[in-house]
Structure 1
């Protein structure tokens, strides 16, 4: 984790990044109909392969198991239904059963994609209650460190199939409440240099992204933006949404881990982040030092203009003396 002073520019710090946590949202992993977004997931794995090749330490936190499991079980339910059954209201599927089925689906796909790229991945499932045990935290960190030393990509998810938590998930007793906050917690536990939260939009907007008046916020400044943002709906399939991402990002950034929320639909989004491109929305504990108030900007502009005018006057006086007629 970097504990130095403010960077020269908001994205300069990425040059020092070695360990990165990448959180993949449900809306990135799946399409609108709930099926896997194979192209996006393939592009993600290709980027991770490139980072692995460049000796970055990459930890992935993935969502999507519940949605994939529900889609698989619904299809099975439909295939095994008689015509008479289809006339009756269909019972809702148990979310924990969906999680158990979906976890198998999503890890099988990660394993297939990574194996085609000569990358080895590993699965770790955790629950909120696990993190109450100091020995568990210590062992989890040791296991992940060991995997990364072997250049294996750890893929982590909340074990919803056996989690004892009930909705509403976010409460004062919870250590994490969704995969965004889990990713932030892991970034802190593992001393990561950067947390990237992949979403279905380019970053944090001043209002709902569908509103043409909404503007993309490149750098989040709490004293400037807190209370001035109108959030849209939560994720179409996941538990959170942009509100959850911002809360997790603020928590991690205040503790010293920079966070960037960016689009998981861009096939090179993570590579662009690590190149220092101005993509997504940056959360950084020193961000307030990079943004001047309007008064400071005006004062700087007046000083610059004054210096230019003064320079012009000196130049004209010098020229005038040289060509002065007597």
Structure 2
């Protein structure tokens, strides 16, 4: 346990996490499963105890649980985590059943009902699916059930979609309007290197990207796929959206959920992104790219102005009005994303022209400022 005392400064982020009324708790595969015996129900019970204590203290908690693939390995006689997608999906189909049953049995000790919610990347990239997932989670909570969320590994079509549920947890935190996100795994916080390989300095709080200078984050372990790189990315994603984050060890779950005084805390941006802008920046799939000149980069990425046809120098891919596209600078950097007003074929006929040169029906912005988010602003945090 890496305890943070008052002398080192608990900070506003820890206070926000400790007092949050709505919390998403993500639990890593290594905290729930082992390669030899599969699902460890004793460890799961201790985690459920910590969640229950937080709920009895007045918080609304959503659990994002990894471990489906790990829970399916032992029953199927697999000694290592599979590499091919079909075997992963087979293990998940077995493990999801065991995992849901274990969570249900554990929370039943407190008279609570568990509802399993399986989500895929597509559920976040499509606005209608996004809203349906939100309504399901909100209704489960209003009915007094504990929502246990997992990635739908059995039908996913790409090998790694969310990063061992770390990114999924960050997306869920924004989806349900959570006040805090707690990431629990086999690490007790963020270090500037791998503490298992030698001297590494613990980082108790991340207030901005400057606190991450020199940090080297590694990939996942034997049971999981996320690793510190995935956790760091998810923490920054949630913090950028306005949700403070605590990264702590699952062994310290009781303290993490009770006071937030362990692990590494990530401060949230002062102003929370709207649901639509969060979806544009983090959840929606890009359907193409619009190439813009330096003047347009300054206007859209730094001054938050709408994108006009005059600032466009080219188009990549095929897209339709209402799709999300990347805005690419002359040096080939994605500087912003937005909801395009025109089809790619329409845009090809008007870019580079001033509003005065266009028909009156095509003088509206290519991307309105309200539908545009700067990617560079996120990177500077």
Deviation at 1:74, TM superposition (A): 0.8
1:111 to 95, 104, 107: 104
Aligned residues: 257
Distance 1:182 1:9, change over 3 A: closer
SS at match of 1:207: coil
Distance 1:133 1:269, change over 3 A: same
Q: Is the radius of gyration larger for structure 1 or structure 2?
A: 1
Distance 1:155 1:225, change over 3 A: same
Aligned pair 1:96/2:82, yes or no? no
Deviation at 1:97, TM superposition (A): 0.8
1:263 aligns with 249
Give deviations 1:5-46, integer Å, cap 9, x for gaps: xx9644222354110000000011113535223332111111
| Aligned residues of 2:219 and 2:230 also touching (Cα < 8 A) | no
2:265 aligns with 282
Distance 1:34 1:248, change over 3 A: farther
Distance 1:247 1:34, change over 3 A: farther
Any gaps of 5 or more consecutive residues in structure 1? Answer: 1-6, 77-90, 171-175, 288-326
2:196 aligns with 210
Q: Structure 2 matches for 1:38-187, cutoff 5 A?
A: 38-74=41-77, 94-165=87-158, 167=159, 169=160, 176-187=162-173
Give deviations 1:255-310, integer Å, cap 9, x for gaps: 100011001012513334xx242x101111359xxxxxxxxxxxxxxxxxxxxxxx
| Aligned residues of 2:246 and 2:260 also touching (Cα < 8 A) | no
Deviation at 1:239, TM superposition (A): 1.4
Give deviations 1:95-134, integer Å, cap 9, x for gaps: 1111101100111111111112222111011111122332
Q: Which has the higher helix share?
A: 1
Any gaps of 5 or more consecutive residues in structure 2? Answer: 1-9, 271-381
1:315 aligns with none
Which gives a bigger RCO, structure 1 or 2 (Cα 8 Å, sep 6+)? 1
RMSD of aligned residue pairs (Cα, Å): 2.5
TM-score scaled by structure 1? 0.72
| Aligned residues of 1:40 and 1:264 also touching (Cα < 8 A) | no
Distance 1:9 1:193, change over 3 A: closer
Q: Structure 2 matches for 1:28-39, cutoff 5 A?
A: 28-31=31-34, 33=36, 35-39=38-42
Distance 1:285 1:63, change over 3 A: same
Deviation at 1:189, TM superposition (A): 1.4
Deviation at 1:49, TM superposition (A): 1.5
Distance 1:208 1:15, change over 3 A: closer
Q: Which has the higher strand share?
A: 2
| Aligned residues of 1:70 and 1:93 also touching (Cα < 8 A) | no
Distance 1:156 1:276, change over 3 A: closer
Distance 1:72 1:93, change over 3 A: farther
| Aligned residues of 2:187 and 2:248 also touching (Cα < 8 A) | yes
| Aligned residues of 2:16 and 2:179 also touching (Cα < 8 A) | no
Q: 2:210 & 2:125 partners in 1: Cα distance?
A: 35
| Aligned residues of 2:17 and 2:244 also touching (Cα < 8 A) | no
1:11 aligns with 14
Distance 1:194 1:92, change over 3 A: closer
TM-score scaled by structure 2? 0.62
